[in-house]
Structure formats: structure tokens, C-alpha cells
């Protein structure tokens, strides 16, 4: 029996492009609340995101599972002190002198960037592949242990 070989083709955005794009993301000061309406049409979508400050990639994540599986729910847990439990990511985002932006790749965008060929990958699996590729390529401070 012969082994089958499958190739997944990825087109990842370049660092320079990511740093020029994205929605400005307000990080709530301690005691303030955070509202998902600032994300507009992306608030209830799922996919991969990249937080940056225009010069540095700060964090790459995905929103694909569980109760916090949308951009709006995930960012509330990252951009509000109480919801984040004052996490190291919250403190990193809050510490930026320049505004934090978030580059978003929703499932629709991921379908264009991840070609799984004859493999039938789910949308969450495509998001996980893209997230891991971007973490490896950008090495964001917030993803380092």
C-alpha cells in the first residue's frame, strides 16, 4: 500500500502588512468596562487575530471554541482588567504608548488563505494552523512563555 501525501497551501500576511492594518482596540483602564461594539461587524465572528502597536506584533490568538469563541468575547477577556484576571496579556496591551490595533482574519478570510487541497479541514482547524504559523513567524512577546 502506498502512503498518500497531502499538502496544505498557506498564504500568510506579511509582517509589514499586518502592522499597517487593523481595528484600533481600546484597552480598558483598571475599573473600566470594555465594549465589543468597537469591533463593528467583527464582534460576533470567529477566526485568528494579531494584536500590534504599529511597530511590534504583541500577540497572536484564535477564537474558535468555547464560550469565548468570538472576537468580541475574547477581546473583553483580554482588554478588561477584571475579565482578564489582570493577566500578563492585559498588562502588556495596557502598557503600550501607541494605540493597540488588531488585525483580524475571520473564517471567510481564512478560507481564502488556507487551501487544504483534498483534505477537508474544518474552519477551526484552519484557524489553528494559521495561528501557529503566525506565532512561529512573528514570535510575539505575548505568546512567549
Task: Tell me the pLDDT tens digit for each residue of 61-109.
Answer: 999 877 668 999 999 999 999 999 999 999 999 999 999 999 999 999 9
Of the listed ranges 13-17, 102-106, 141-145, the least confidently predicted one is 141-145
Residue at 3 is within a domain: no
Residue at 139 is within a domain: yes
Residue at 84 is within a domain: yes
> How many structural domains is the chain composed of?
1
Higher-scoring residue by pLDDT: 143, 67: 143
Residue at 63 is within a domain: yes
CB 134 within 8 A of CB 110: no
Q: Residue 97: which of 36, 55, 138, 61 has the closest Cα?
A: 55
Domain that holds residue 139: 9-143
pLDDT at residue 4 is higher than 70: no
Residue at 135 is within a domain: yes
What rounded mean pLDDT belongs to the chain?
Answer: 92
CATH number of the domain at 62, please: 3.40.1440.10
Q: Residue 55: which of 101, 91, 90, 88 has the closest Cα?
A: 101
Amino acid at each position: 500500500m502506498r502512503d498518500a501525501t497531502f499538502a496544505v497551501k498557506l498564504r500568510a500576511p506579511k509582517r509589514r502588512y499586518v502592522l499597517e492594518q487593523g481595528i484600533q482596540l481600546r484597552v480598558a483602564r483598571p475599573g473600566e468596562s470594555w465594549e465589543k461594539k468597537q469591533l463593528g461587524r467583527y464582534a460576533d465572528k470567529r477566526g485568528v487575530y494579531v494584536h500590534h502597536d504599529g511597530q511590534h506584533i504583541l500577540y497572536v490568538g484564535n477564537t474558535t471554541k468555547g464560550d469565548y469563541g468570538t472576537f468580541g468575547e475574547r477581546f473583553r477577556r483580554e482588554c478588561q482588567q477584571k475579565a482578564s484576571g489582570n493577566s500578563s496579556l492585559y498588562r502588556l496591551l495596557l502598557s503600550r504608548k501607541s494605540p493597540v490595533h488588531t488585525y483580524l482574519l475571520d473564517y471567510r478570510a481564512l478560507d481564502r488563505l488556507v487551501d487544504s487541497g483534498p483534505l477537508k479541514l474544518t474552519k477551526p482547524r484552519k484557524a489553528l494552523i494559521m495561528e501557529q504559523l503566525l506565532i512561529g513567524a512573528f514570535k510575539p512577546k505575548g505568546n512567549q512563555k
